[in-house]
Structure 1
Amino acid sequence: MAEHVILFTGPMGAGKTTAIQSLSEIEVVRTEANNSERHIVDKATTTVALDYGEILVGAQEKVRLYGIPGQRRFNFMWTILKKRAKGMVLLVNSDSPDPIGEMIFFLEEFRVLYDRGGVVIGVTRADVMPGPTLAEIYDALERTNPGLVIPVFTVDPRVRNQMQNLLLTLVVNIEMRAAFGVPTVARSV
């Protein structure tokens, strides 16, 4: 059975835990604690180590879903979790003060995952408050990471089929790059 390890990254409150819950076919392992930074994101709990779920794609492909804590103070978990990952779903909440800055930060922090397999970006909470347009996001990507091909979608992490489309786009991208021998430039982890 083929296996993919996919990392869900992004800032606190972007919907990583919810996305994994929407996708997983097993009970999700969650490491939630009370949110001590409610002044930044007003939610009761936050991930402090990881979230874990699994989904089968077809009969022969298992996708392991790992969610990171979004707070930078837990970045030691980022280092651990990105070692095995083949690709990344980067979720960015449209209603944050600087969604493009957060996207660029996480893309740089986890760039090795683009080099290793692929990245797809999901813009969440676009229905709550207008944020940057997809054109503005693509412009920022081209300015900061010229030549990278990264699909960008607006998604609701609570909607399973939207998250499946995002995940399948990433899995297909990883498999196509592997099948066609697209060279990767792995940076040190």
Structure 2
Amino acid sequence: MATTYKLVFAGPVGAGKTTAIQSLSDIEVVRTEASATDDVKQLKQTTTVAMDYGLMKLASGDQVRLYGTPGQKRFDFMWDILTENALGLVLMLRGNAPDPVADLRTYVKEFREFIDRTSLVVGITHSDQGGWETRRLVAAELEALGLPPSVMDTDARERSHMAQLVKALIYGIDPFNGTEAH
């Protein structure tokens, strides 16, 4: 019998959550986009207001449900709803953001209870502008927060990049108790 898994993608506006899910999904992605307002308009024309949903079909017959959270704090009520019964969190950060480490701290704080029960992996998009130094700083901050430094540069448009990120998340799950191995 096929098993269904659930993963959640979170991160700031413009980090690539919707694009990542589109890259991985084997079905048309369900998107809840609205016209961007405020500061978000400077980054992109639309933004997720409830969730993105995609489905990855594995060769084994198993399926992975992919849920993307809104990046704006004002929609954070969706974060708890979407993380319910999920295996782990894929945190997407923009390497070209003014302070990716501050973004990391914000999202780890918001999702900490969930992360402590499950697993976390961080994907840095737009890394051509942030480079190796951003990845090093994010990894160091993860360790300072008591979390494994599971971080990699990624291109959300590339299915193979996103698949590696998902594999890294799954490898971080302890099969004996369903939580992250520290």
State the TM-score, normalizing by the size of structure 2. 0.90
Greater Cα offset, 62-71 or 165-174? 165-174
CA contact (8 A) 1:95 1:131 kept: no
**SS state of the match for residue 127, structure 1?**
helix
Q: In the alignment, which residue of structure 2 is the partner of 1:172?
A: 171
Q: In the alignment, which residue of structure 1 is the partner of 2:60?
A: 59
Q: CA RMSD in A?
A: 1.9
CA distance in 2, matches of 1:34, 1:153: 30
1:113 is displaced (CA, Å) by 2.8
CA distance in 2, matches of 1:13, 1:131: 20
Indicate how the Cα distance of structure 1 residues 131 and 149 shifts in structure 2: closer, same or farther if over 3 A, else same. Answer: closer
Which of the pair is proportionally richer in helix?
A: 2
Counterpart AA for 1:120: V
What are the within-5 Å matches in structure 2 for residues 38-77 of structure 1? 38=39, 41-77=42-78
Counterpart AA for 1:156: D
CA distance in 1, matches of 2:40, 2:96: 15
CA distance in 1, matches of 2:90, 2:179: 21
1:40 is displaced (CA, Å) by 6.5
Indicate how the Cα distance of structure 1 residues 63 and 183 shifts in structure 2: closer, same or farther if over 3 A, else same. Answer: closer
Q: In the alignment, which residue of structure 1 is the partner of 2:15?
A: 14
**SS state of the match for residue 38, structure 2?**
coil
1:183 is displaced (CA, Å) by 6.1
Indicate how the Cα distance of structure 1 residues 111 and 60 shifts in structure 2: closer, same or farther if over 3 A, else same. Answer: farther
Question: What stretches of structure 1 of length at least 5 have no aligned partner?
Answer: 185-189
CA distance in 1, matches of 2:178, 2:92: 25
Q: In the alignment, which residue of structure 2 is the partner of 1:114?
A: 115
List structure 1 segments (4+ residues) > 3 angstroms apart after TM superposition: 38-41, 128-132, 180-184
Q: How many residues get paired?
A: 179
Question: What stretches of structure 2 of length at least 5 have no aligned partner?
Answer: none
Greater Cα offset, 56-65 or 29-38? 56-65
1:173 is displaced (CA, Å) by 2.4
Indicate how the Cα distance of structure 1 residues 115 and 57 shifts in structure 2: closer, same or farther if over 3 A, else same. Answer: farther
CA contact (8 A) 1:13 1:41 kept: no
Q: In the alignment, which residue of structure 2 is the partner of 1:181?
A: 177
CA contact (8 A) 1:100 1:132 kept: no
Indicate how the Cα distance of structure 1 residues 66 and 172 shifts in structure 2: closer, same or farther if over 3 A, else same. Answer: same
Deviations along 1:47-105, whole A, 9 cap, x unmatched?
Answer: 00000001023313211000000000101111211222220000000111111111111
CA distance in 1, matches of 2:154, 2:160: 10
Q: In the alignment, which residue of structure 1 is the partner of 2:91?
A: 90
1:128 is displaced (CA, Å) by 3.6
CA contact (8 A) 1:94 1:132 kept: no
